[in-house]
Structures are given as structure tokens and as C-alpha cells.
Structure 1
Amino acid sequence: MAVILITGPLFSGKRSTAKALLHWTDEELAQNAVRDAQELAAGCADLDALAQELAQKPVVIVTEVGGGVVPADPDERAAREAAGRLSCLLAERAETVIRVFCGIPTILKGGIAP
């Protein structure tokens, strides 16, 4: 199964969208999806290897963290940049990329079979 990347702002409905599109329960989502993948990027020495590892999962959910006020703390800025770079690397590898905003999914790449 090729990876499906689901991204969007915090509390935008990413998990609900994944469950609805894939007809999964909470338990199936917990077993088959990597949630909050952006948190894995902070301090990661090899984002390409991390993206390759995550791309082996059926679903990866990433919260967009690049919008809004730029943090004054250099470590927070670096973590935010790493999260954005990881999202780009995952999108390259994903068969399907979906952005969820206000609970509305928009397919940016690929598609979902019914």
C-alpha cells in the first residue's frame, strides 16, 4: 500500500478525514497511521531517511506548523523548518496528498479509491 499523506492546521479534522475516507475505526487509525509526524523532524539528522521510513506506513498525518508568527527561539525555528522539509519529502513519496482545512479535505495529489 502506498502512503497517504494528510496535512493541515492543528485541529482541522485530519484524523476524522482519515477515518472517513478510509472507513477506519479509531483503533484502525491508531494501528495504521503515524500521527503528528512533524514532531519526529525536530533534531533529526537525516530527514530523507526519516521520510523514507515513514513512507512505508499506510497513512502519515502531519500538522502544518509553518504559518503564523515566526518563533524568536532559534531551536523552535529550526524545528519548524525541519517539519516543513519533512512534509515536502513525504509529499514527494506519497501516492496521495490531502490537505484538510476547516474539516474540508482537498486532494492535492493522487486520489482515494471508493
Structure 2
Amino acid sequence: MKKIKWLVLLAFFALAGCANYSGDNGVENRWRSVDAPVWEVGKTSEQEVVDVLGPPSQLINLQDQTAYYYLREHRAGKALVLLLYNWGYQKLTYDRAVFFFDAQGTLTKYSYSPEALPYDEAD
């Protein structure tokens, strides 16, 4: 009988697992780079932004303006998988930049999200 209890306990732990994971999606957040230029409202062009940041995650056409939306997502989580009980946790962090251009392609305003991910040149 003791052997059966130990086998059941051993099988319970053999079927259990833990996981830690993380990952990134979206464009590189070059707007957080120390080398990122200072954007000048009324002077910076669409092409200058694209040359530095690359293509946007989303291009939004407004009536007389265009918005370039850049998004970087980071996720990190932990999980515990047991025979009778599972637990998981995931945290998502979004880093965003939005640039608005007039019909001539000149920057009218821009904004970064207050939630920031560190820029990593290794990406």
C-alpha cells in the first residue's frame, strides 16, 4: 500500500510542470533610443519619421490628417501545471508612439505612451 502511495505521488509530480516565459511583438521602439531625433512640429516630414522608425504598425487615415501608430508589446508570465490544479499569470506592457501629419505630410503633433519599454538595440 505504501508503494502505491509513493507511485501516485511520483506520478503526480511527473505530470506537473512550471513555466516562465516572455516575448515581444510589434515594431522596435526606436522612439525610445537615445539616438532618436527631436521631432519638430511644423518641420518634420512623414518620410523623416519613416526613415528613423520604419513602417508604422498601423496607418490611420483621418479626413485631413494621417496618423502613424507604432506599437511595441512585451509579455511576461509564469505558469504552474499540476494534475488537478493549474495556475497562470501574464503581464502585458504596451509602448506606443503616435504621429499626426497634415495633408502635405508635415508633423502636426506626436505623443508617446507614459508606459515605456526599454529600447534594446539587440532586437
Give the TM-score band, short-chain normalised: under 0.3
Give the number of the structure whose residues are more often helix, by fraction.
Answer: 1
Using the size of structure 2 for normalisation, the TM-score is: 0.24
Choose between structure 1 and 2 for higher RCO, CA contacts under 8 A separated by at least 6 residues: 1
Give the number of the structure whose residues are more often strand, by fraction.
Answer: 2
Using the size of structure 1 for normalisation, the TM-score is: 0.25
